[in-house]
Amino acid sequence: MDILVVGAGAREHSLAWQFIHSGHTVWIVPENAGLPLHSVDININDIEQIISFAQTKKIDLVVVGSEEPLLLGIVDVMKKAGLCVFGPNKEAAQIEGSKAWAKAFCHRHDIKTAPFIVCTTMKEARDAIDYFDCSVVIKADGVARGKGVFVCDNKDDALHQAFLMLEKKQFGQASMRIVIEKRIFGKELSALMIVDGERYQMLPLVEDYKTIEEQDNGKNTGGMGAVSTPQWVNQSMSTAIETTILSRTIEGLVKDGIHYQGIIYAGLMLDKDNQPWLLEYNCRFGDPECQTMMVRCQDDLAQWLQTAAQGALCQKMIRWSDEMAVSIVLASKGYPDDYESGYVISGFEQIDSACVFHAGTKRQGDCIVTAGGRVMTITALGKTTEEAKKHAYDAVEMIDFNDVYYRNDIATR
């Protein structure tokens, strides 16, 4: 097949890498420094130009990796243009586009999620914080690139964060409305599935490391590392996730008349009884969850995505390696706040024991330089978690750039 991947982060690099290894001809927009021979310099939100390119190249399948074009409705426009595209339409993508919408959806369809209150004013926020009278989580209603979630351990912190979002417009339009919810304690887990409108196939469970600091402290990020599949997960947990969260999600979408074709990502918390609670939905592959899964995929994943986009998801099960996978994100010091870019990256070309997926990088002459907060994801396999972790960190030690930052405790929970 001729495949076009939309989005130039490490997630999209790993998808393109998997498709290329399966023998497909792959293009990626916008440019990704890790795939210079496959990249096309088109703005990710220039839908008309992306469609023109896809039609000129007679693309068989478009895979949209990033949430931004999905929320803008790229799938709706592409389908009208006659393209086969994997990803939810604009209506379906609101499962990620609005936390308040997703919470109401869970309430309608008996999907366990934390008690919540939606607020648009500081008075409402104060009343909500007083009502819960405990540790709360405050979320921007809209998309804030993984940075719009704050765990607040006391009322003062909660009031301050609500003020920053509602009054100081911390995330612009995305935080004009916020969700305040009771904090659920436990172990976080990411569950993803391929959906064709009515049927789904569950993908390997992944443990994500979201905060910037070690021991799960500090601000939330887009993700600083991941493990697939964590050894503490057992079959009863997986079954509970599928029956109480994933299948009810599909049933709810069908009942609501929402035709969902694409990836559904369920961010979960497993409580002390190992029962899953839905924290959030995403309408696309997670990052770095995707990178962590792609190195384990032993099938031609593009075939499943194409049949899902056609409403006829392949009923065969995708084959996954029994090996463990560990991903470590290299970031620019200062992320997720202010950071400097433009530093030359060295050492990654010599790595052969792990995969290097590019995110915030760009080509500058003969060099690759930093160009974002999350710069690269290093992903390695191993027969055990310890082995995969060692391969990943050994590779990380080979890479150097000014102000490099990464967590040293990935795969240690």
User: Residue 134's pLDDT is what?
Assistant: 87
Chain centroid to CA 340: 24
Residue type, 195: V
What is the DSSP track for 111-127? --B--EEEESSHHHHHH
Average pLDDT in the chain: 96
Query: Can you name the residues that pair with 353 across neighbouring β-strands?
Result: none
For the chain, which domains are there?
Answer: 2-95 (3.40.50.20), 115-182 (3.30.1490.20)
Task: Kindly tell me if the per-residue pLDDT of 147 is higher than 90.
Answer: no
User: Residue 86's pLDDT is what?
Assistant: 98
Residues in contact with 68: Cβ distance below 8 Å, sequence separation at least 6, in sequence order: 44, 45, 143
Render pLDDT for 259-279 as a digit per residue (tens, 0 to 9): 999 999 999 999 999 999 999
Please indicate, yes or no, whether the overall pTM of this predicted structure exceeds 0.85.
Answer: yes
User: Residue 362's pLDDT is what?
Assistant: 97
Alpha helix (H) ranges present in 73-176? 74-80, 90-97, 99-108, 122-132, 155-166
d(CA 317, CA 295): 17
User: Residue 146's pLDDT is what?
Assistant: 77
Task: Kindly tell me if the per-residue pLDDT of 145 is higher than 90.
Answer: no
User: Residue 315's pLDDT is what?
Assistant: 84
Q: Which residues of 144-179 are buried (b: 16+ CB within 10 A; e: fewer)?
A: bebbbbbbbeebebbbebbeebbeeebbeebbebbb
d(CA 400, CA 397): 8
